[in-house]
Every structure is written in structure tokens, then in C-alpha cells.
Amino acid sequence: MITRLTFDQISTAVHDAYEACKDIKGGQNAHYIPYLANVNSDLFGISLCLPDGRLISVGDTDYRFGIESVSKVHTAILALEQHGAQAILDNIGADATGLPFNSIFAILLENDRPSTPLVNAGAIAACSLVKPHGDADGKWKAIFDNMTALLGSEPVLIDELYHSESATNFDNRSITWLLQEYGRIYDDPKMSLDLYTRQCSLGVTAEQLAISAATIADDGANPITKRRVFGAELTPKVVALMSAVGFYEHSGDWLYATGLPAKTGVGGAVIGVMPGLFGVCAFAPPLDDAGNSVKAQAALKHLMKSLNLNVFSNTHFDLVEA
Ligand SMILES: NC(=O)CC[C@H](N)C(=O)O
């Protein structure tokens, strides 16, 4: 079945989702990273980007916040581009862990594999895979440039967040050394961890993240800059990774409830990708027990329901002029 959607319908749905969810309480800011604990908990924004570059934004969509684990998607794309889909499967994996994002148990259960580039272990391994090998500055430039190409404009490193996170990331240090012991870090371990921590500390806006999600939805072509960022054959791989583990131990419940492949970060962002149709980002700092934004989840759930969208349904959606 083909259903026609207009820009106005999508715009109304975004504004309705904002209104319906703006007063939702519950959850708390990430408390284990001191910088994030102090961000204003009332911030809330939704931004949606269409493949033709039109943006629908409501609320705090130009506030710059820590990208955190949403960056795992961007660097997974870089590693996929540089090494190919098979190498990422062989060296990292694409499995759901069913466990928290920083789980050491998941590494042990998965027979030494980091599981997926979208949990901490696999994301640190992905940073170790980024070329040029052995060159910290060159690798950071590759990560930053790839992020910029996906966002359509530069992110800004939040120094305070980077220092705050570097000083307190004891679990990620343990993960890195365990992976090193298992032969699953493919460059200098300390450098790989530092690159991961730095990418998590990049400041981005909800609007930038929506553009990057729309770039994934648009088969690797950035809808704003029109630049091709990655090969179209990678979109199904990226969407599969997001679907499998985007909400960590709540990934199945999320996908079942919404039908939206999405990825969260403890900075409060959630990005969602409807291939061919749009990319979206909702942002609000308070998180649930799995580290996923309470209000952003509610807003995206509302949006998908009101537009009657689901990536698994047998309905194809065409964006039409009114
Ligand atoms: N889920 C997240 O966003 C976690 C990211 C954070 N930088 C960490 O490694 O703990």
C-alpha cells in the first residue's frame, strides 16, 4: 500500500509531539559524568529533516549538547566506509547485547567480541580501526571530518565535558584493557579510548543530528550540502545496527513499540531514521534506567503513531506536495 504524506502533515505531527510531551516529567540527567549532571533538565527540542533538505524544528533545537553515544553511529559509518561491511562484522560484530552500554559481561558472553560498534566496547574498537593507523591526529581528523560531513556543519568539542569524562571513565578503561587482552583493539589502546571519549564530547545541536540522520535515510547523501558522505549500500547496515541495539537493553521493546530504528546518547539525544523518508532527532536530558532520554522517547513514539509510520509495515510512504 502506498500512503501519501505532505510536508504540512509531517510538520503538524512534529509540533503536536512537542506539545504533547513538553510537560512530561521523570528520569534524571546522566549523573556519572559530572558535566552532564549539571545541564538544564528542562531543555527539549525536536528537529526533523527531509531528503530534500527541508527542516522542521521546534523547541531547543539550536542548543549545543554532548553527542555521547549517538556518535557511535557516525564513527561506525566511517569504519564501514574505510574497511567494508564484512570487516566490521569480523572484527567487531553486529549483535544486540541485551545489556547496558558499558557492560563487561557482554564482552565475556560474546566470546571476546565487542558485539557491535554501537556499545562502548565496539565503539572503542571502531575508533581503533579508523585509519590512518597509529596516527592520533590523523585519526581524530578523520572522525571529526566524517562527523562534519554527516551533520552538514562542524561540531564543537566541549572541553569541559571531555575533561569531565576523561577523569571519570574508569569503566571504559577496564573495557579497553579487556579488549586489548582479547586482541580486539586494533591500534594503541589508550589512543583508541581517548578518541572515543573525545568524539562523545563533541557538542552538537538537535538540528545537526537530524541532518545526519536524514543523510543515513537518504542513502549517504547529505540533504543540506548535497555531498555524498558514504556509499548507499551502507544504509541498510547502519539501520540494522541501530535497530538491533540502539536502546541497549530496551532495544526490542523500543522497536516493537515504535517501528523506528533509532540510537540514543546519555547527553539526552535520540536520532531516528526512516529510510527514504526522513531523519529526526529529539533531545531532552533526563534519562531512564538504560540511559535513554525519557521525553525524547515519548516524542518520537508520538510522532510515529500520529503519522502511522512503522519501518516494518507493508506500507510505503511517498512525500507529496499538498
Ligand atoms: N550511552 C552513552 O551515551 C554513553 C556514552 C559515554 N561517553 C560513556 O562512554 O559512558
Q: Does domain 69-200 have CATH number 3.40.710.10?
A: yes
> Could you tell me if the CB of 291 is within 6 A of ligand 1?
yes
Mutate to test the pocket of ligand 1, among 33, 35, 120, 247 (most ligand atoms within 8 A of CB): 120
For 6, 168, 242, the CA distances from 233, given in Å and listed in that order, are 28, 38, 16
The rounded Å distance from CA 196 to ligand 1 centre is 9
- Report pLDDT for 320: 87
Assess contact for 17 and 25: CB atoms under 8 A: no
Q: How far is ligand 1, taken at its centre, from the CA of residue 69, in Å?
A: 5
Predicted local distance difference test score (pLDDT) of residue 318: 84
Cβ 158 vs Cβ 35: under 8 Å: yes
Q: Specify the ligand 1 atom closest to the Cα of 165.
A: 7
Does 68 contact ligand 1 (Cβ within 6 A)? yes
Query: For the chain, what are the domain ranges?
Result: 69-200
How much distance in Å is there from the Cα of 265 to the middle of ligand 1? 7
0.95 exceeded by the pTM?
yes
Give the residues across from 275 on adjacent strands.
Answer: none
- The predicted pLDDT at position 87 comes to 97
* pLDDT given at position 113: 78
Q: Which atom of ligand 1 is nearest to the CA of 201?
A: 7
Distance of CA 251 to the CA centre of its chain: 13
The annotation places the binding site for substrate at 69, 120, 165, 172, 196, 248, 266
> Mean pLDDT of residues grouped by 10 in the chain (322 residues)?
90 98 96 95 98 97 98 98 97 94 90 88 98 98 98 98 96 96 96 98 98 98 98 98 96 97 98 97 97 98 96 87 76
The closest residue, in CA terms, to atom 4 on ligand 1 is 69
Residue where the block lists cell 540510537: 263
Predicted confidence at residue 112, as pLDDT, reads 73
ipTM summary value: 0.97
Distance 30 CA to ligand 1 centre (A): 9
- In contact, 310 and 257? CB cutoff 8 Å: no
Contacts of 50 (CB under 8 A, 6+ apart): 7, 10, 214, 223, 277, 278, 319
β-strands 316-320, 2-6: how paired? Answer: parallel
CA–centroid distance, 291 to ligand 1, in Å, is 8
pLDDT at 56: 98
| pLDDT for res 319 | 85
Letter string b/e over residues 210-232, b meaning 16 or more CB atoms within 10 A of that residue's CB: bbbbbbbbbbbbbbbbeeebbee
Going by CA atoms, what residue is nearest to atom 10 of ligand 1?
Answer: 102
